[in-house]
Structure 1
Amino acid sequence: MSDVDTNLVLSGDPRDVLMTAARKAGLPTAEATLIRDGANVIYEMAGGVVARVGPPGSQLVAARQIQASRWLADTGIAVVRAVDDIDQPTVVGTRPVTWWVQLPDHRHATPAELGVVLGRLHALDVPGPPPFPVVDPFEGLIESIDGGAALPEDDRAWLRDLTKQLRTEYLALTPGLPRCVIHGDAWQGNVVVPKAGGAPVLLDLDHVGIGPREWDLVSLTVDYTDFARLTDADYQAFVDAYGGYDMTTWSGYRTLATIRELRWTAFVLGKAKTSTEAAQQVRHRLACLRGEIERPWSWAAF
């Protein structure tokens, strides 16, 4: 690693990482506009390119994003496309940068459109040997909880105990569930529809892997059952578009729903180190998970 790369890792500034990666990849560095600052920091570049700056140490995840995009496109799934003429990912220090073809103006998918896309995805033959990992819903959870200094130790201990309980329940459920190719973080914002017309496009491929279809279906179902963000008609449209499978009738639903909500809580816990609003939101979410606040819940977006 060069001294420049080392300094960039230590600085923690994703824009500096982006500029160095763009020079390595032979792309213009002007006019980089921040789109989103999340687990990946995403920028719009000149020439119709979108850059995703991954977190430190996520080179393998970045490489799997590129692999997933190309494999899914070959199967006929409409998916965000990696730029073809760049060796990807471009690594600066320990941070990978991936380069994507910018999508036309678009909107989030409706519940029915999401159901159609997931139905097609889950119907794909699982390749052998699988090019993707087995999805672990608990990946990184304990590390996030342990690092969540915004919560007192007794609260973090409660979250650890909940994680252990949910893992035991999940391992008891999964042996009887068929495996398929899943997105891993399926919600309406990760499927977008071009406003000028065209097929819905699958985005954010960080978690593509092999796992039970229920892990892809649970996020929207939780929006319906626990947050009242969907009408009865919208949820039924999702169920019908997917093929008639209603997650709420499955005996394991509450286990997967709570795992998903725990992950959403852990994500905000990571932001609570530097954000008073995030710290307040984590305490609110913890109260919900403990049953101190009745559903439907209202959680602020981060």
Structure 2
Amino acid sequence: MTQPGEQISSADVLARAAALGGVDARGAVRIREGSHAIFELPNGVVARIGESGSYQVAQRELCISRWLNQNGIETVRAADSVSQPTLVGDQPVTWWTLIPDHRPSTPGELGGMLRKLHTLTPPTEFPLPCYAPFDGLRERIESAATIDEADRSWLLAQYRQLRQRYDDIGDPLPPCVIHGDAWQGNLVAPPSGDPIVLDLDNVSMGWREWDLVQLAVDYTDFQRISDDEYESFVAAYGGYDVTRWAGYRVLADIQEFRWAGFALGRSDGSHAVVTEAAHRIACLRGLVPKPWAWRAL
């Protein structure tokens, strides 16, 4: 029997969860191994393995999926053939309906979905947390085993500075429902029908700008999208261009700092990830000119 805190592979977690839930996991194919491990299973089911201690987050994701679908935003749907979440040790496994043959959304599709999402009245059936952009960042920097002390000292100083800059912004507008990780890969388009929202673990109450800044930095700092594509995003959202907001650079710097912190958190077991984390830190420190090129993790 798995004990809370025991480390087992994601494949083992999947096998144990499938046995508990009566789910056919034969021939499972790993789709992704990141903060969540995701597997495609037979019969059009996708398994999503949460981090240790995230059972309540998994429960909330299931509630959010039902709520968004009921409120006109097409969202990944939980598989109704199994009781959820399934707990293996202290890791929750949720089961979802496969979305076949999809592509990442266009910037315009993403802007249109966010415009709808940000106008929703928050749910009354369950609480949404407040968005916490700095959550876990300092601990990740302090515990990172793959950086030298010069980088650690710089990152901690930058962390303190970013928190102060953020506190100095003031509230741009009252908080609304936000996705919290609004990039094109988290809104996917099937061959027909509306684009479908994925990855619900960061849905929360927060500034709308947090959902707009991710595509904006793709445009301003990475040049991953063209002028026309960014203009289509702004137009679909209703004409509000977050890059023209006085607080944009603060949120952009925090978002990029978070992406570097994510790489640090995954760099213990992979030379490629260690190299990518070092590259991201060098960019943040001004040692690499923009536009930057960062590898997806």
- 1:246 is matched with which residue: 241, 247, 254? 241
Larger mean Cα displacement after TM superposition, 10-19 or 124-133: 124-133
8 Å Cα contact 1:174-1:212 kept in structure 2: no
TM normalised by structure 2 equals 0.96
- Check if 1:5 corresponds to 2:2: yes
How many angstroms does 1:74 deviate by?
1.2
Q: CA deviation at 1:35?
A: 0.6
Q: Residues 166 and 130 of structure 1: is their aligned pair in 2 closer, same or farther, counting only changes over 3 Å?
A: farther
Cα deviations by residue, 1:107-154 (Å, 9 ceiling, x for unpaired): 000000000010110111123486210111111111211221100123
Deviation at 1:157, TM superposition (A): 2.1
Offset at 1:298?
A: 1.2
1:62/1:89 contact within 8 Å kept: yes
Q: What is the percent sequence identity of the aligned residues?
A: 50
Equivalent residue number for residue 119 of structure 2 = 123
Residue identity opposite 2:295 in structure 1 = A
Summarize deviations over 1:71-98 as a string: whole Å, max 9, x none: 1111111000012243221110011100
Q: How does 1:143-222 map to 2 (within 5 A)?
A: 143-195=139-191, 197-222=192-217
Deviates more, 1:102-111 or 1:152-161: 152-161
Q: Structure 1: which 4+ aligned runs deviate by more than 6 Å?
A: none
Q: Letter of the 1:13 partner, please give it.
A: S
Larger CA deviation: 207-216 vs 166-175: 166-175
Describe the SS at the equivalent of 1:233.
Answer: helix
- Relative to structure 2, which stretch is displaced further, 276-285 or 72-81? 276-285
Q: What one-letter code is carried by the residue in structure 2 that aligns with 1:223?
A: D
Deviation at 1:177, TM superposition (A): 2.4
- Which amino acid is the alignment partner of residue 5 of structure 1? T
Separation in structure 2 between the aligned mates of residue 71 and residue 278 of structure 1, nearest angstrom: 36
Task: Determine if the alignment matches structure 1 residue 84 to structure 2 residue 66.
Answer: no
Match of 2:290 in 1: 295
Q: Aligned with 1:83: secondary structure?
A: coil
* Secondary structure, counterpart of 1:47 in structure 2: helix
| 2:277 paired with 1:277 | no
- Tell me, which stretches of 5 or more residues in structure 2 are unaligned? none
Structure 2 Cα separation of the partners of residues 109 and 125 of structure 1: 24
Deviation string for 1:31-52 (max 9, x for gaps)? 2111111100000111111000
Q: Is the 8 A contact 1:57 1:94 kept in 2?
A: yes
Alignment of 1:225-244 (within 5 A): 225-244=220-239
**Take 2:90 and 2:170, find their aligned partners in 1: how far apart are those partners?**
34
Aligned CA RMSD, in angstroms, stands at: 1.5
Q: Is the counterpart of residue 133 in structure 1 residue 144 in structure 2?
A: no
Distance in 2 separating the partners of 1:13 and 1:53: 11
The more displaced of 279-288 and 179-188 is: 279-288
Q: TM-score if structure 1 supplies the norm length? A: 0.94
Please name the residue that 1:17 is paired with: 13
Equivalent position amino acid for 1:257 in 2? A
- Structure 2 match to 1:46: 42
Gaps of 5+ in 1: none
Alpha-carbon distance in 2 for matches of 1:224, 1:153: 32
1:130 to 1:16, Cα distance in 2 relative to 1, 3 A: closer
Alpha-carbon distance in 2 for matches of 1:172, 1:209: 22
**Separation in 1 of the partners of 2:96 and 2:170?**
34
CA shift digits 1:2-29 (9 cap, x unpaired):
xx213x9534201111111111111113
The answer on 1:264 being equivalent to 2:259 is: yes
Q: CA deviation at 1:171?
A: 2.3
Contact persistence 2:178–2:211 (CA under 8 A) = yes
Partners in 2 of 1:128 and 1:46 — Cα distance? 35
Higher mean alpha-carbon deviation, 145-154 vs 185-194, is at: 145-154
Opposite residue 201 of structure 1, the aligned amino acid is I
